[in-house]
Amino acid sequence: MIDCDGWLCHKHLEAVHVAGLSVEMMARQLGRFPSTVYRELRHNCCDNGGYSALVAQRRCDQPTRHPKQPKLTTDPELAAKVRERQVMRWSPHASSADLRVEGHRICAETIYAALL
């Protein structure tokens, strides 16, 4: 397994793709699932059909076109209910479970992120 992230991973993937390794072998070397490698190759191929580490890294560095708004900023009613539970010193997991019973969908990680 190759220990790489970002640019190094893209460069390694480009090298093994040019060498003609199978997707399964590439995935094994990178410590990724084959489906992840397939998706990476499909999303970052060039006009000639080859994989380009430069293209892949540029796409990674670009900000998303439509960044997702945090759920608690777009739903004031839900935010108020979460705040009520914070005042009562409920854990994010307990708040999430209780709100789910009330018909709201929010995970504990979203509540933790709002606390930070």
Mean pLDDT (10-residue bins), the chain, 116 residues: 67 87 89 90 81 85 79 93 96 96 94 88
What per-residue confidence (pLDDT) applies to 52?
Answer: 85
Q: Map tokens 């979460």 to a residue.
A: 82
What per-residue confidence (pLDDT) applies to 4?
Answer: 58
Separation in Å, CA 103 to CA 39, 97, 98: 35, 10, 9
What are 39's two structure tokens?
A: 């998706």
pTM over 0.85: no
What per-residue confidence (pLDDT) applies to 1?
Answer: 47
